[in-house]
């Protein structure tokens, strides 16, 4: 169905941008075929840092159908900065080659192109990336029962397996009824219901499974449309329909093999800096919001605070701290990521990270690392400093350029975001400069605390009360997310 489509690909020489003295990129316009793309990959320069493939937006007649408003999509774009070695340098694995090949075939991953995240014949529950709920057919075994999303129970009506239908397509069979998922009445219209029906071999009962190694998308053979949580609903009982494939998170489903632990006891891992770290008694009253966060979550939620002072998004990786998090994180867990304060330290080369590299590290390491392990990344904009504007009577936005990169990622990929910068600034505005200075930040009078006999004037770090308030704002942001973690906030 993509035979008349031309995609543009650009091979970026990581030693420099196209057209610069440091290196020249190669650009090709290809008709979508695996062979031509493989020739393209082989023709790219082979520098000592990883290959970067950029997929520019399609325009004109070659463009894919426009997604519905506000539906987020994810792109395949990995680019590493050239000025320093990267400890997580990616190689063109069989999975990544499958990804490129699938994209060349029209922006979708073909079944069998990538290293499979599912095994035909295994029973799975299928969890929506957008809502955290799972596909459910109800107790009915009759033809025409509608597919909905519900809270996970692992009941037989929530279990499905993939049965090879030939030609790279699969039937999706329900365990409780033995019937298969079917686009009702062979409709090709957006919004058509997905139901169960007796297996009759129809094309409307066959699905191409698009696999990125973690999440699956399902494209109907008859209509060419994708399985979709309709209207991007996060409500239990919302119907599942078909809609133009747009890469939205409401069209992505994680296969969880039956017998895997049901979510209910998640751990929230924190990757951050000194504004979130846990301090010992010798630093009191200095506190980080990460050490206060557990008080705002229920007893079934654990907090693993890996925040440490002086780290940027880059140095946290280079020093192996992200590796330690990813070695421990499990499916159903969460990774809360807040950097920016040290990334902006232009005078400190060990910490400084440009806004562009900051965005890349968040996307290609923190987000990708958590997602690959079945965990959910949550990005936080940098918490505000005591940066008061006397002329306006309000606080200035701290690290605005870095906060903008977090918001860009949320818009471009659909990653969950807590705008802690905006939330903290609103809170500071509400209490005013004097209270913020003496009650929130580490502005201490001489003799006020034994650990600081001469007092302190620190406009970045928090007193115990300030850390508690920031933790409250993080928890309120988590509660507002369309994710299962929201139900764990007190």
pLDDT tens per residue, range 314-336: 999 999 999 999 988 888 899 99
Is residue 109 in a domain? no
- Cα(first)–Cα(last) distance of the chain, in Å? 49
Q: Which of 233, 257, 281 is the last residue of a domain?
A: 257
pLDDT for residue 351:
96
CATH of the domain at 215: 2.80.10.50
Is residue 330 in a domain? yes
129-138, 196-205, 425-434: segment of lowest average pLDDT: 129-138
> What total number of domains does the chain contain?
3
**Within this chain, do residues 396 and 332 fall inside the same structural domain, yes or no?**
yes
**Within this chain, do residues 239 and 320 fall inside the same structural domain, yes or no?**
no
Tokens 């409250």 map to which residue? 472
**Within this chain, do residues 280 and 248 fall inside the same structural domain, yes or no?**
no
The distance between the two most distant Cα atoms of the chain, rounded to a whole number of Å, is 82
pLDDT for residue 264:
66
Q: Which tops the pLDDT comparison, 125 or 21? A: 125
Q: How far is the CA of 89 from the CAs of 76, 82, 84, 214, 413, in angstroms? A: 16, 12, 11, 20, 21
Backbone angles phi, psi at 378, to 5 degrees: -130, 115
**Within this chain, do residues 14 and 44 fall inside the same structural domain, yes or no?**
yes
**Within this chain, do residues 352 and 272 fall inside the same structural domain, yes or no?**
yes
For residue range 364-380, list pLDDT tens digits in order: 999 999 999 889 999 99
**Within this chain, do residues 63 and 179 fall inside the same structural domain, yes or no?**
no
CATH of the domain at 353: 3.40.50.1110
**Within this chain, do residues 271 and 221 fall inside the same structural domain, yes or no?**
no
Tokens 């008859």 map to which residue? 222
- Residue 59 domain boundaries: 7-104
Both structure tokens of 475: 């928890």
Instruction: Provide mean pLDDT across the span 293-316.
Output: 93
CB-CB contact of 353 with 391 (8 Å)? no
- Banded model confidence at residue 200, pLDDT cuts 50, 70, 90: very high
**Within this chain, do residues 317 and 410 fall inside the same structural domain, yes or no?**
yes
Q: Which of 75, 104, 133 is the last residue of a domain?
A: 104
pLDDT for residue 44:
41
């Amino acid at each position: 169905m993509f035979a008349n489509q031309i995609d543009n690909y650009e091979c970026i020489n990581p030693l420099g941008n196209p057209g610069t003295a440091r290196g020249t990129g190669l650009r090709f316009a290809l008709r979508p075929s695996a062979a031509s793309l493989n020739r393209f990959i082989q023709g790219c320069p082979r520098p000592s840092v990883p290959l970067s493939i950029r997929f520019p937006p399609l325009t004109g007649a070659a463009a894919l159908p426009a997604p519905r408003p506000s539906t987020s999509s994810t792109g395949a774009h990995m680019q590493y900065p050239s000025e320093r070695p990267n400890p997580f340098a990616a190689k063109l694995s069989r999975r990544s080659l499958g990804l490129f090949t699938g994209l060349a075939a029209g922006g979708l991953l073909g079944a069998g192109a990538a290293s499979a995240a599912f095994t035909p014949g295994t029973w799975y529950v299928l969890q929506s990336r957008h809502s955290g709920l799972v596909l459910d057919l109800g107790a009915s075994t009759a033809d025409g029962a509608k597919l909905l999303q519900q809270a996970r129970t692992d009941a037989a009506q929530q279990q499905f397996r993939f049965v090879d239908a030939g030609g790279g397509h699969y039937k999706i069979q329900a365990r409780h009824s033995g019937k298969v998922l079917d686009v009702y009445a062979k409709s090709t219209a957006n919004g058509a219901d997905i139901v169960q029906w007796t297996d009759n071999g129809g094309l409307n009962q066959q699905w191409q499974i698009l696999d990125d190694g973690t999440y699956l998308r399902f494209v109907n053979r008859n209509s060419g449309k994708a399985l979709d949580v309709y209207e991007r609903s996060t409500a239990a009982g919302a119907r599942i329909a078909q809609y133009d494939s747009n890469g939205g998170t409401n069209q992505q489903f994680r296969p969880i093999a039956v017998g895997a632990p049901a979510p209910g006891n998640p751990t929230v891992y924190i990757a951050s800096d000194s504004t979130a770290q846990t301090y010992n008694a010798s630093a009191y009253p200095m506190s980080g919001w990460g050490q206060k966060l557990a008080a705002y979550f229920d007893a079934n939620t654990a907090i693993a605070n890996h925040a440490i002072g002086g780290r940027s998004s880059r140095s946290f990786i280079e020093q192996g701290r992200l590796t330690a998090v990813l070695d421990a994180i499990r499916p159903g867990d969460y990774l809360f990521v807040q950097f920016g304060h040290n990334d902006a330290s232009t005078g400190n080369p060990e910490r400084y990270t440009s806004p562009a590299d900051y965005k890349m590290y968040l996307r290609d390491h923190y987000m990708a690392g958590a997602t690959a392990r079945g965990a959910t990344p949550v990005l936080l904009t940098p918490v505000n400093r005591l940066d008061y504007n006397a002329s306006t009577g309000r606080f200035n936005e701290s690290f605005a350029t870095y906060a903008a990169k977090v918001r860009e990622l949320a818009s471009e990929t659909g990653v969950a975001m807590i705008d802690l910068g905006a939330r903290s600034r609103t809170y500071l505005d509400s209490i005013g400069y004097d209270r913020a200075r003496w009650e929130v930040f580490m502005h201490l009078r001489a003799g006020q605390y034994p650990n600081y006999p001469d007092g302190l004037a620190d406009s970045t770090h928090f007193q115990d009360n300030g850390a508690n308030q920031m933790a409250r704002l993080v928890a309120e942001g988590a509660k507002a997310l369309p994710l299962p973690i929201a139900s764990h906030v007190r």
